[in-house]
Amino acid sequence: MIKINKYSELGFVDHGWLKARHHFSFASYYNPKRMGFGNIRVINDDIIDPKSGFNPHSHSDMEIITFVREGAITHKDNQNNEGKTFAGDIQVMSAGTGITHSEYNLETIKTNIYQIWIVPNKKSIKPRWEAKSFSKNYTDNKLEVLVSGFGENYIKNTIGIYQDALIYGGKIKKKINLEHENKYQSYILCSKGKLNIENKILDKGDSAEIRDIKKINIKTLEDSEIIIIDTK
């Protein structure tokens, strides 16, 4: 089964400094039909104004993955972690027993991020934060594995999380055919460009839920940036 979620139909909130589209119920946006996708609990498509951001706040027992699409985000937490993550790169925070952090756009341009929350398979672990840079070049072959789960299925040189999951991403040139093989089920994000997934069209900001299909054919109709979250 393939279900397309259009950007214009996502939950929306405008806080002035923050304009957010919610793929699933979050904060003031509640939709009983949109409570998550497998282990994925939250995907927020956030646009953050320059010199603004999220003041210190706390989380626990959640794997929080931030994919920066444009601009940069600066992280600081009470575990003495601090760093800036730029467009095309990823940061991961395992909230575990509890962590307090802030995230600011200290740049002079707007920052656009995906913030992805995945329910962990281990609770009450020691909080951690990690960021990693990946290739920014357009390719014509395949998506890179960016995130994998700690344990026997962990893939070297990826960022680890406490859940059996794989997150693929990358920039693919137009008119390229890709084949993605699901391990479990996939949530596909069209971060930029335009995609054809099994004759269903995704524009920038759209997503696709893929269930009960082993192999998916993806064609880029424009130069595109794609993220695939494959988890139980």
Q: What is the pLDDT of residues 9-32, one digit of tens each?
A: 999 999 999 999 999 999 999 999
Give the global pTM.
0.96
Domain assignment present for 1: no
Same-domain pairing of 55 and 120: yes
pLDDT of residue 180: 93
Same-domain pairing of 77 and 156: no
Q: Which of 83, 102, 132 is the last residue of a domain?
A: 132
pLDDT of residue 135: 85
Question: Going edge to edge, which strands form the sheet with 200-203?
Answer: 177-181, 215-220, 194-197, 200-203
Same-domain pairing of 170 and 60: no
Q: What is the pLDDT of residues 149-196, one digit of tens each?
A: 999 989 999 999 999 999 999 999 999 999 999 999 999 999 999 999
pLDDT of residue 142: 87
Same-domain pairing of 156 and 213: yes
Indicate whether 81 pLDDT > 90. Answer: yes
Angle at 231 between CA 228 and CA 232, to 5 degrees: 150
Same-domain pairing of 14 and 123: yes
Same-domain pairing of 116 and 191: no
Domain assignment present for 4: no
Same-domain pairing of 221 and 187: yes
Domain assignment present for 51: yes
Cα 79 to Cα 83: distance, rounded to the nearest angstrom: 12
Number of domains in the chain: 2
pLDDT of residue 140: 87
Domain assignment present for 2: no
Indicate whether 141 pLDDT > 90. Answer: no
What is the mean pLDDT of the segment spanning 76-104?
Answer: 97
Residue closest to 68 by CA, chosen among 102, 117, 105, 100: 105
What residues make up the domain containing 208? 138-231
